[in-house]
A and B are shown apart, each in its own frame.
Chain A
Amino acid sequence: MKMTKIYEGSHQWIMFGRDPNKPANIIDSNQYVVRTTNRCLLMDPGGTELFAPMMAAVLHHAPVEQITDLFASHQDPDVISSLGLWDQALTNAKLHAPAIWEGFLRHYGCESIEYVPIPDHGGSIKLDSLELQLIPAHYLHSSGNFHVYDPQAKILMSGDVGAALEAPDAPVFVDNFDAHIDKMRYFHQRWMPSNQAKRAWIERVRKLDIEILAPQHGRMFKGDDVKRFLDWFDALQVGIAV
């Protein structure tokens, strides 16, 4: 599992992904970790297959007992089907996930982890002195969907928004936006169902000061590429299957 530190300040952001041992027929995903002094948040920790490599990778940064928070942007298996395993490994943890998915996500097994339901209008996650904002992103693509914004690091973890289907050894940042478009067009057109939801999200996100847009698949966007992505997404017609 490749680890890339994407922010280093009073806390850290680390991106995990490009696992070389991942079975070829499952989609590659990026997992993000925020590490504060005593706590550790795993965002979209991934599918069952990814549990062992992900746990091992996190152990480079924090001991098991300091993994205190999980976040699931939505209910998809590539996001959180590992829940039942984290549930047995962590003794004192919370799962922050959309309120409307609680009854569904519990199918993965959630007995010792406390499910903290995120209401539709959003909320926050507090880690030591850090406060992360939970930004609504409903229908992008899931009907109950949130992104995580860190105003200090200026990072928006954007779930499936900004995702691209990439080669397993692709670089972690977009280096040529125009060339990247082909890798993400179909994904957004087909997986994102609603132009209306897309507009509402773009309007909300344009007000945030974002240095890195960090999707769950493919590469991250940095600096001007963040604005390029928002403009491109704004102009894209989605929901093409009907």
Chain B
Amino acid sequence: MNNQTKSQFVAVASITSELSAVMVVAKEISLAAANAKAIAFRAGDKAKGFQPITDFINELAKETIELVTDINVYALLLYRLTVNEYRRTSAYNRFEAAAKLAENAAYGASMQGPVDVAKGRMQDCQRQFKRDVTHLLSQLEAVMHHARAARVIAANSRIEASQAGEYLQSLQAVAESVDKAAHTIHDNVQRCRVALSIYRSN
């Protein structure tokens, strides 16, 4: 296996691992949202501005979880495609080697057919991989977008929390954890994108 293939395997496998971390964090956000909702409810009027925010955070977490679930299915397909591409590339290389060794063989020319077919299949796989990577990158971009939105909301939450009197601290803690979680998601997804971006089609 050459280095290019190895790093392709690693890049694709790393998506799944980065995303499983994203999933954990997204669930944390959804928990934080439920928590915030309970506090805001108790705080009543003092946390009026906070209530719609909690719904929004919850919605965002749910969407992120759905997106990541989708991406995971897609990442598995991409992994299979990588395996396929590896198989087809190595078949093509070995067919070429056989054709070369058989240059002087009575039936050496009959190897040209399999060589051409193998080459076509390998190139199909490479093209498909590039297309799929491009699509995956746009899905990852959507997750990043959600993470950025979550950070904006966290900032708003902090402002709203400051009006909440004795609930200030607990609401601020909620804002804090949403911010942290969004930050983690952003970083993880960014790493996936960097790992994949060299394979995208132009």
Contact = CB atoms under 8 A, between A and B. Distances in A.
Contact of A88 (B100, B111, B114): B114
Contacts of B87: 84, 88, 109
A191 interface: no
A48 B97 CA distance: 13
Contact of B106 (A51, A60, A88, A109): A60
A89 B95 contact: yes
Nearest to A1: B101
Interface string A41-77: 0000000100111011101111111000000000000
Contacts of B121: 88
B101 A60 contact: no
A85 B115 CA distance: 12
Interface string B80-110: 0000000110010011011111100111101
A55 B117 CA distance: 16
A88 B91 contact: yes
Given A51-B98, A56-B98, A89 B114 contact: yes
Contacts of B102: 55-56, 59-60
Interface size class of chain B, counting residues whose CB lies under 8 Å from the partner chain: 20 to 34
B102 to A, nearest CB: 4
A52 B91 CA distance: 10
16 contacts: A48-B94, A52-B94, A55-B95, A55-B101, A56-B100, A57-B105, A59-B98, A59-B108, A60-B107, A64-B113, A85-B95, A88-B87, A89-B95, A89-B114, A89-B118, A90-B114
B97 A52 contact: yes
Contacts of B100: 56
- Describe B's contact surface by its main secondary structure: helix
Q: Which of B100, B102, B106 has the most CB of A within 10 A?
A: B102
A55 B98 contact: yes
A112 B101 CA distance: 25
Nearest to B109: A63
Contacts of A59: 98, 102, 105-108, 110-111
A48 B94 CA distance: 9
A64 B114 CA distance: 8
Given A52-B97, A64-B114, 15 more contacts: A51-B98, A52-B98, A55-B95, A56-B101, A56-B102, A57-B105, A59-B108, A64-B107, A64-B111, A64-B113, A84-B91, A85-B95, A88-B117, A88-B118, A109-B87
Given A51-B94, A89-B95, A60 B105 contact: yes
A59 B110 CA distance: 8
Contacts of B105: 56-57, 59-60
Contacts of A88: 87-88, 91, 95, 114, 117-118, 121
B176 to A, nearest CB: 50
